[in-house]
Structure 1
């Protein structure tokens, strides 16, 4: 485990990005994909790095406990639309 850093770097490799967000690699990759946060390709020997500002945006996008997420709201709207279509079809 990476120890405490007084100042986090602006660009982080996957291990450091996971430590910064306090997520395991699988959880980190799932959340970053869900919230469209991608690493930057530095090419060659440097590989990819995650920007701290993007990680902060990901963290700020997470819903508070008990608060519905944007994805939950989209699913609710889709279900409501499907119910309306079914009601219309049943009336015919």
Structure 2
């Protein structure tokens, strides 16, 4: 306060006005991309792309043959038409 009265700035500081901008316009923000949590629980990022578990194996499989259940086990890679959307949903 004593420094402001000597310099003659009053209640404004020297840093509040810079080149015609007020201090609120000098706030810099980063555009952070958020991970889509629903996608993150279903898809895993690999070196070549993305992979997911196959659907249809969780319940209601009584009476199914072992061969048909074995086909539904394991992981499957993402289709090439989904890659762009998955990159946007899982940026990190």
TM-score by length of 2: 0.23
TM-score, normalised to structure 1, is 0.23
Q: Compare the two structures and name the one with the higher strand fraction.
A: 2
Q: When you count helix as a share of all residues, which structure comes out higher?
A: 1
Q: Which has the larger radius of gyration?
A: 2
